[in-house]
Structure 1
Amino acid sequence: MKDLFIKYRLVIKFILTFLLVYGILSFAYNYYLDASKGGYYYPDYITNLVANQSKNLLENIGYATQVIPHPDEPSMKLILEGKYLARVIEGCNGMSIIVLFVSFIIAFSGKLKTTILYLLSGSVLLYVVNLLRIVILSVGLYHYPWRKEELHTVIFPAIIYGMVFLLWMFWVNRFSNINK
């Protein structure tokens, strides 16, 4: 049994570290969401910010856009050229993906300074890519409404999860201590 533990020590360390960090960050994020209920920003500050930044990006590329609170659920209605296209919900704000990204990087940590810089730059990149995917989905839904299922269930997740995967692979192959 001891030999087996020694043989898989790095795998066990990765799994335990990942689960611990993911659990702590998920708990903190859920606490933030609970604390946000009934606050000034609806549905929560980050979702509100993402919805409004998506609106600004859409306006910058020439689409008349409105973002208004949904009256019946905690989300923001995205209206493009007068047409209600989508809801920006908490799951669209990218924070759950960033928590997943951060947990993986910490579990495969490298040098402290490099790890912190990569966490910050990767999180910012994921946030920006998330905004861009909302813009792409919105424009796609506006011009190709019959492709709603493909856009939302295939293209939309592929963009953000593909970026997370690329960032993870770059980290593991370039900066992590796994091969050291």
Structure 2
Amino acid sequence: MSRSSSPAAPAPLVRFAVLAGAFYLLWFFGYEHYLAADGRLDVALSHNLASVSAAGLRLLGYAVTASADARPLLTLQGQPAVIVGHECNGLVLYALFGGFVLAFPGPWRRKLWFVPLGLFLIYALNVLRIMALCLNNYYSHQTVDFNHHYTFTAIVYASIFGLWMWWATRLATRPAPTTAVYAA
């Protein structure tokens, strides 16, 4: 009787699954049980996003202020426009993006510049999202809820997916070694 052996899972896939699981557990226990309970990181990030978004809109000529409340409120032209809630400050997206790239096989030298670049791009996209929501609330209040929950969510997740694809298809792969062929 012959035994047929099932193919073993590829080593990079197993490595990715183990590392991704470890990063998830680190996030779960580190954030959910300590950082979220403390709250200072969420408050600082939400305030920073509100301040930078307000500064961006002021550069465009709008009268915008950001409150110093625990959940900062942006007012545009004297009217309440956007509350930057901790659940919408992007912190989870930073962890998700960074964890994916760190767990995915690839050269560490590239990860050292790609992860900070990706985090900065996600941060900048979040600032633009908050600015757009302020303007959306000012010019077309009836569409804010839809755009917040669907339009901007789709744009942000598609952008993160694009960064992942850039990493997985272009940057994580190592170039094939070149062999020199000399004609005699």
* Fold shared by both chains (TM-score > 0.5): yes
Helix, strand or coil for the counterpart of 1:169? Answer: helix
Partner deviation per Cα, 1:18-73 (whole Å, 9 max, x = no partner): 12113213433342333345xxx9x6211111111111111111111111144xxx
> TM-score, normalized by length of structure 1?
0.84
Per the alignment, residue 37 of structure 2 pairs with 34
Per the alignment, residue 74 of structure 2 pairs with 78
Higher deviation after alignment, 47-56 or 170-179: 170-179
State the alpha-carbon separation in 2 of the partners of residues 156 and 137 from structure 1. Answer: 9
Per the alignment, residue 44 of structure 1 pairs with 43
Task: Write the letter of the residue equivalent to 2:59.
Answer: N
Work out the percentage of aligned pairs sharing the same amino acid: 26
Q: C-alpha displacement at 1:4, in angstroms?
A: 4.7
Distance 1:29 1:112, change over 3 A: same
Q: C-alpha displacement at 1:179, in angstroms?
A: 9.6
State the alpha-carbon separation in 2 of the partners of residues 4 and 63 from structure 1. Answer: 64
How much is the aligned-residue C-alpha RMSD, in angstroms? 2.5
State the alpha-carbon separation in 2 of the partners of residues 92 and 60 from structure 1. Answer: 23
Contact 2:118–2:163 (8 Å) recurs in 1:
yes
Contact 2:12–2:105 (8 Å) recurs in 1:
no
Higher deviation after alignment, 76-85 or 15-24: 15-24
Per the alignment, residue 61 of structure 1 pairs with 60
Helix, strand or coil for the counterpart of 2:81? Answer: strand
State the alpha-carbon separation in 2 of the partners of residues 107 and 4 from structure 1. Answer: 26
Contact 2:82–2:130 (8 Å) recurs in 1:
no
State the alpha-carbon separation in 1 of the partners of residues 107 and 64 from structure 2. Answer: 44
Partner deviation per Cα, 1:101-158 (whole Å, 9 max, x = no partner): 0111112131111111111111111111111111111111211111122211111212
Task: Write the letter of the residue equivalent to 1:6.
Answer: A
State the alpha-carbon separation in 2 of the partners of residues 177 and 29 from structure 1. Answer: 31
Per the alignment, residue 172 of structure 2 pairs with 176
Helix, strand or coil for the counterpart of 2:172? Answer: coil
State the alpha-carbon separation in 2 of the partners of residues 124 and 13 from structure 1. Answer: 27
**For 1:12-161, what aligned pairs fall within 5 Å after superposition?**
12-30=14-32, 31-36=34-39, 44-70=43-69, 74-161=70-157
State the alpha-carbon separation in 1 of the partners of residues 128 and 28 from structure 2. Answer: 24
| Greater gyration radius | 2
State the alpha-carbon separation in 2 of the partners of residues 93 and 126 from structure 1. Answer: 11
Q: List runs of 5+ in structure 2 lacking aligned partners.
A: 177-184
